[in-house]
Amino acid sequence: MSRTTKLLFTAVISAAVLVSGCTKPPVQELDNARAAMKAAQEGGAEVCAGTEYILAKEKLDKAEAKMAEAEKGGNKSALYKEAKLELIAAVADFEKAKQVAADRAKVNEQAKAELESYKKNLAANAEDGAKYSATYKTAKAKADEAQALIDKCEGEKALAVLKEAAVSADVIQKEIVEGKAAAMKADAQARSAASKGTVVAAPAAAVAMPEFDKYKVVRGDNLWNISKAKYLNPFMWPLIYWANKEQIKDPDLIFPGQVFKIRKDVDADKDKAVDYSKRRGPWSLFDGK
């Protein structure tokens, strides 16, 4: 065999090896990516690093799709090369997702500890707080909101909610004492009325602490128009009258500058107020009703 022939033969063999190498699927890179995905899952990345995990998973899926396309007769050299690059990038992204999850999990654990302490403080007043304290109800709702955020591994947001919701136990205790006193007073009034053969309904405040808005009276105001503006029903004006009897001696006579309490939750007494308004009859100053 001549020297020229030998050189040509060697070149052909080298080209064949090179082509063969270019069409080899990136099996090792695929195994590495799948192992990295499993490690990220075990580290809680699906919950605590959802965005990062999804990006990494998309790259793995694209690489597997390209390898499948190559096996079906596509341009193996190009497809395997692209798949290999996707797999290498996926490994890096899975590792990033795992680290992000670990960092967020630490914050989440801190939020869990603070929420546990927060709930213990609320638990001491759970039964009476639910009955008599509006502050307790708000604090309980915030605790539930924080728990929902922790369940989604959003510890930083949960900590912010708990910081905003921080309340003094003294405030809740004060509202409970006041609520119980109102309930006892209403019960005593009801028993007294029953002994005289009459029935007196306990006011709503005796059962639950109502919430109020405030309204400052201006010139030309009357209870009818204020009720229409606040409740969209002028016949509900007795609700304003009843809530402010310490200021309103006659419902037909109010004065600029007076600040009235306007009940927010009026469903329980709405019909009673409308009935009172429609059955009251002719109005007269200082009628005592």
Q: How far is CA 257 from CA 210, 211, 245, 253, in A?
A: 24, 22, 16, 13
Tokens in use for 278?
């429609």
Q: How far is CA 138 from CA 33, 141, 161, 262, in A?
A: 47, 5, 12, 20
Q: Determine the pLDDT at residue 199.
A: 53
Q: Determine the pLDDT at residue 124.
A: 75
Q: Determine the pLDDT at residue 168.
A: 62
Q: What is the dihedral of CA 12, 18, 19, 23, to 10 degrees?
A: 160
Confidence of residue 189 (pLDDT cuts 50, 70, 90): confident
Interval 110-115 mean pLDDT: 92
Q: How far is CA 143 from CA 107, 111, 157, in A?
A: 17, 11, 12
* Percentage, residues of the chain above pLDDT 70: 82
Confidence of residue 209 (pLDDT cuts 50, 70, 90): low
Q: Determine the pLDDT at residue 169.
A: 65
Domains of the chain: 8-103 (no CATH), 125-209 (no CATH), 211-289 (3.10.350.10)
pLDDT tens figures, 236-250 = 999 999 889 888 988
Greater pLDDT, 282 or 183: 183
Tokens in use for 188?
């005593």
- Phi, psi (rounded to 5 degrees) for 266: -120, 5
Q: Indicate the DSSP class of residue 74.
A: S
Burial class (CB in 10 A: 0-12, 13-18, 19+), 252: middle
Q: Which residues lie below 8 Å from residue 202, measured CB to CB, with a gap of 6+?
A: 183, 186, 187, 189, 190
pLDDT tens figures, 48-69 = 999 999 999 999 999 999 999 9
Interval 161-170 mean pLDDT: 76
Interval 112-123 mean pLDDT: 86
Does the pTM surpass 0.85? The reply is no
Tokens in use for 127?
């039964």
pLDDT tens figures, 141-158 = 888 999 999 999 999 999
Q: Determine the pLDDT at residue 198.
A: 56
Q: Indicate the DSSP class of residue 250.
A: B
Cα–Cα distance measured from residue 1 to residue 27, given in angstroms and rounded to the nearest whole number: 40
